[in-house]
Amino acid sequence: MKIIVLGASGQLGSCIKKVSAERNTHDIVFASQENGNILNEELLSRLFEREKPSFVINCAAYTAVDKAEDEQELCRRINRDGVLFLAKACKQHHASLIHISTDFVFKGNIAYPLKETDPTSPENIYGITKLEGEAVLAETLPEHFIVRTSWLYSEFGNNFVKTMLRLGKDRSELGVIADQIGSPTYAIDLAGAILDIIESESKSYGIYHYSNEGVASWFDFAKAVFDISNMSMHLNPLKTSEYVTKAVRPPYSVMDKTKVKSTFGIQILYWRDSLARCMEQLTVTA
């Protein structure tokens, strides 16, 4: 089965590259921006005709949550229109699509683990456009897997863990939001789950939730980063109202992973254990 990965240079794409190499996954193509731009239908058509994929993994997205409030048109083009172009290409070339979405499709005002069937009501442009992307994909291509994830981090790219480590070198005190609750997700674990879905050869298409097990606030997440790295840092818990951002975040976006575990037999690790693994990798590569 030939696999194409779009958005290959980003955080998740880099993790898929690493995990696929460790698994010795054959016939996987990591498309560059030049030949795999999801906003260019002609480029996509040529890529698909050349590679003839059975599966496509879409990691390409506009993810600058606050900036999206000022760049709504661009955000929508990438997160909605690009997904539509990709879905059409997959349909034409008989490929299945694994598309990455977000917990930000939820309002976050209900404090129980959110299932795939729970009502969506995003409150920022990023979440709205990601939900629009889900909708156009479902309308266009039946052979799809939508994987919603949350609080992604890894040894690649820019993310919360790296930001905390960088700030920890320059400061002795930080304020971190303590009233937004979710589940950190190690992108290496997500990459493995995506490949597990492909390798299962399952036709159980639809929406799935994936994050690491357990729950945390951003304060808890930061505390774990400093504890594991043995860095001295005084953390002050902040309320969301004390740290105003352009985009509204869901206060509670913990997702129920029962469906992905039962359908594909995937075992999910506890978030702090996975964080420790990531910190080891960051130490090795430092």
Q: What pLDDT is attached to residue 148? A: 98
Alpha-carbon distance 58 to 202, whole Å? 18
Evaluate whether residue 114 is within a structural domain.
yes
Domain encompassing residue 116: 3-158+184-212+255-268
Quick one: average pLDDT of 231-258?
A: 96
H/E stretch holding 169: helix 160-170
Encode 124-133: b = buried (16+ Cβ within 10 Å), e = exposed. Answer: bbbbbbbbbb
Query: Any catalytic annotation for residue 126?
Result: yes
**Number of structural domains the chain divides into:** 1
Alpha-carbon distance 10 to 63, whole Å? 11
Angle subtended at Cα 127 by Cα 224 and Cα 60, rounded to the nearest 5 degrees: 80
Marked catalytic residue, from 62, 126, 186, 252: 126
CA distances (Å), origin 34, targets 7, 10, 50, 183: 11, 14, 15, 34
pLDDT digits (tens, 9 = 90+) for 2-11: 999 999 999 9
Evaluate whether residue 238 is within a structural domain.
no
Q: Of 83, 74, 101, 88, which is closest to residue 38 (Cα–Cα)?
A: 83
What is the rounded average pLDDT for all residues in the chain?
96
Domain holding 147: CATH number? 3.40.50.720
Q: What pLDDT is attached to residue 111? A: 87
